[in-house]
Structure 1
């Protein structure tokens, strides 16, 4: 059993990771911006940045899993770098000073895109790429540094694009994506949590470190995702085979390039190195995870609707 600090524990991924660590009998310390009187092991550290005081949170900690960061909203470039870059540097320095053995940084596949083409990447991707250097610096100072680059992480309570996709799947409208055969890597929040627990435990035992892409084993298409979501919601598929070229042209005319990229383009990862180094096997298939996401989303929507009707 280890004492593990999780930053950003109240976020989407943190809400799933903390129970996964507890099941493995680790002592979890949580850190975030604001106090939580209901959580005795939660330590408020204020804003994440170059001046954050981590000393209390890092007391007697064996490993740190750093999830906290700026994402999923519009912000100035300087703000992304203050939180994701300078904030991670401050944490890595504090970890070294406190004698922490393992520092894991949850990065993003956006960092890979920034690495390949900095000029066309966004501030988020560049700031996540910058944050990775601090985990490598921590490793050079004698600890174990693990950097994970996931793609879209999904689950019924996920924010951002996945929430919008679930909302789209839950509509009764026929959708024009039946002919979309793109190739997308994704990662269920259950698989990601399992991967983080597995690799941190291995690193505490002296095995593994470096930068890894992590994802579900399967590469899927938008049409498959929508079919599985609607199956989980106990709905008919109702996907119309509209030609992809027609949808791409319509998106360009409407100025929706980002939407086209998110829905219709390819984006694949290679998790084979992570699987090999940590002897990891994803505990659930993409089909199982997407269907369950749809099922839970529909169930929660029903609860919300009943509450609204009764108010």
Structure 2
């Protein structure tokens, strides 16, 4: 039996679908009763993720846990102290689950972390690796780093195997936030001043991420390892928009504004982080993932973008 947390989320739903399709026994952990029906999986309600969460019913008979639930990174956080809130859920809640899992004899704990543990940016051609020193810059990244550290300690103390996966931006059917906004602009033919961006960014299609997660549930070589994940092809912002436009059937209308002007403009508007995401590079090296696990991304970038576009048009037609 595999327990999946974050079962109602973007990644959790796709993971459950894949596990069920592959004939695995799955239990989906929900915050609230009736959140949704996980086809082919049993459902258990656990409430909010914290140091007090009672996992006894959820963990009964479980061999492996995939922990995808988290307080996610938000652009405008209303919390008085965001780090306190991120730690409550992402650190204390995660370690409570891991301790209870280890005490209950769970063999393996797969933790979905974030590339933000490594940092926010790379120099082109110098990607982050799983062995790099951690350098998180925001509360979300700090909380994920601290959860990783705590999980490694629990693994050392109890013998439960821990696997950590650090994804970059995940996209696919049902994606929200900035990626969905980008698709909406392209679908509407909005001219964008992003036709001359020469950065390099790693992305991961939802199907590729969940395929690796399932691999890490059982692969012997995954035990107590940290893995980076991506589609295996890095794109500039300009290339991403062009290829996403093709997937949507809408040519990208891009104006070639130099990146330096975009950065200056964003700084004057008090939005330097936006320019960093659009113009800066963030690459990950997945050679360890490939070599140690024999893993390769099932979908190409263009196939992943096509599935994201299909999901966008399905939602737009409702």
Which of the pair has the greater relative contact order for Cα pairs under 8 Å at 6+ separation?
2
Which one of 100, 104, 112 corresponds to residue 98 of structure 1? 104
Higher helix share: 1
| 1:151-190 map, 5 Å | 151-190=168-207
1:121-174 CA distance string (max 9 Å, x none): 111110010111232123212121100111011113112222222222222222
Structure 2 match to 1:137:
153
TM-score (norm 1): 0.91
1:249-304 CA distance string (max 9 Å, x none): 11111111111111111000111111111110100111221133123313421x13
Higher deviation after alignment, 241-250 or 84-93: 241-250
Please state if 1:258 is matched with 2:265: no
Q: Structure 2 CA distance, aligned partners of 1:54 and 1:134?
A: 18
| 1:186-197 map, 5 Å | 186-197=203-214
Structure 2 match to 1:78:
84
Unaligned runs of 5+ in 2: 121-132
Q: 1:207 to 1:297 in 2, by over 3 A?
A: closer
Please state if 1:124 is matched with 2:122: no
In the alignment, is the contact (CA less than 8 A) between 2:86 and 2:140 conserved in 1?
yes
Structure 1 match to 2:23:
25
Q: Structure 2 CA distance, aligned partners of 1:289 and 1:91?
A: 32
Higher deviation after alignment, 36-45 or 174-183: 36-45
Structure 2 match to 1:308:
none
Q: Structure 2 CA distance, aligned partners of 1:240 and 1:178?
A: 5
In the alignment, is the contact (CA less than 8 A) between 2:189 and 2:252 conserved in 1?
no
1:202-242 CA distance string (max 9 Å, x none): 14xx7533111111100111111111111111112222222
Indicate the SS of the match to 1:216. coil
Structure 2 match to 1:290:
305
Q: Structure 2 CA distance, aligned partners of 1:294 and 1:166?
A: 8
Indicate the SS of the match to 1:219. coil
TM-score (norm 2): 0.89
Indicate the SS of the match to 1:146. strand
Please state if 1:69 is matched with 2:75: no
Indicate the SS of the match to 1:77. helix
Which one of 289, 299, 310 corresponds to residue 274 of structure 1? 289
